[in-house]
Amino acid sequence: MIVGKTASEIFDSIRHLVQSGALKPGDVLPPVRELAGKLSVNRNTVAAAYKRLVTSGLAISQGRNGTAIKTHNTLPALEGGDPSSPLKDISSGNPDPARLANLKHYLGAIAPAPRLYGDAAVEPRLAAWASRWVNNDVNLDPDINLASGAVDALERLLCALLLPGDSVAIEDPCFLSSINMLRYAGFSPSPVPVDGEGMQPGALEEALSNGARAVIITPRAHNPTGCSLSESRARAIREILARYPQVLVIVDDHFALLSATPWYSPIAAESQRWALVRSLSKTLGPDLRLAIVASDADTSAALRLRLNSGSQWVSHLLQ
């Protein structure tokens, strides 16, 4: 039984119940109003205890479905299927190895001068090329950073700008690695259904009005449906995001170099925090962990702080 008169006491009580096995992974905690009534405390006291449970990783917020005890961490499923199977899983998103570039020539041409601590994190020539590439599509004079692949970029952006327990609007269905990343980083996924034209506007509006602090949008070659944003759908999404300028907008344009579908930007001019992520994994191979992150200056500064606390830069051998 949950007891306590303060947020700290309620938190400790639930924590003890979890550790003793009385509360099991997946168990839904009583609604805030119900527990507040039973304990004769203010609803804000229970809400504060629940928020601390989510922040500490003991529970997960499920929006309207309440707060539940978090399941035990297990190794997440990986995209790509079982390599020993004779079956070919075309849902994996893997490129055809026969069509990938032979990198032997380029690796042999790497400049012999070693890179040292304090050198520029992004190779200037790569930064210039990336700027020209994305400027054609966003026209927002973005800053350029690099990450070790698109999912790494998404994780670092969210962790740099959000707090554990924050709600993130994400496509339903969505890329397996993206949903795994959200769950293990402690964020609360807010699913937004996808149709043949992309994320459905009405459902996105509902997620944002319910407090989603960020949204991840795949504009082309959505995994697993393969759909791409239509011009009218991108416009509708921009109109919605314009009413929520504080929401972090992350555009995962992972198929940019290969897509024959036109680019329609979902980023609203009013959006204060945004990032366009473009990966080279589908073009040069999944093992080349490199993604370009174009963003506004404030988002870029937060991302750099996050990068500096970890790997600091993507190897210049890859750049």
52 shares its domain with 201 = no
Place of tokens 């970029």: 153
* Residues spanned by the domain of 155: 122-308
191 shares its domain with 297 = yes
282: part of which helix (H) or strand (E)?
Answer: helix 281-284
Total domains present in the chain:
2
Q: Say if residues 294 and 143 touch (Cβ distance below 8 Å).
A: yes
Q: Taking the complete model, does pTM exceed 0.85, yes or no?
A: no
136 shares its domain with 207 = yes
Residue of 182, 157, 112 lying closest to 249 (CA atoms): 157
Residue 104 forms part of a structural domain: no
135 shares its domain with 240 = yes
CATH number for the domain that contains residue 138: 3.40.640.10
CATH number for the domain that contains residue 27: 1.10.10.10
Residue 264 forms part of a structural domain: yes
Where does residue 115 fall: left (phi above 0), alpha (psi -120 to 50 degrees), or beta otherwise? beta
- Which pair of tokens denotes residue 228? 């791409």
- Which pair of tokens denotes residue 196? 């043949």
The string over 230-240, giving b where at least 16 C-beta atoms fall within 10 Å of a residue's C-beta and e elsewhere, is eeebbebbbeb
Residues 6+ apart with CB under 8 A from 95: 282, 283, 285, 286
145 shares its domain with 287 = yes
Q: Mean pLDDT per segment of 10 residues, for the chain of length 319 residues?
A: 93 89 92 95 94 84 87 52 58 69 70 66 80 81 86 91 87 85 85 93 94 93 88 96 96 84 92 91 74 91 80 68
Give the length of the chain.
Answer: 319
Q: What is the pLDDT of residue 76?
A: 46
218 shares its domain with 294 = yes
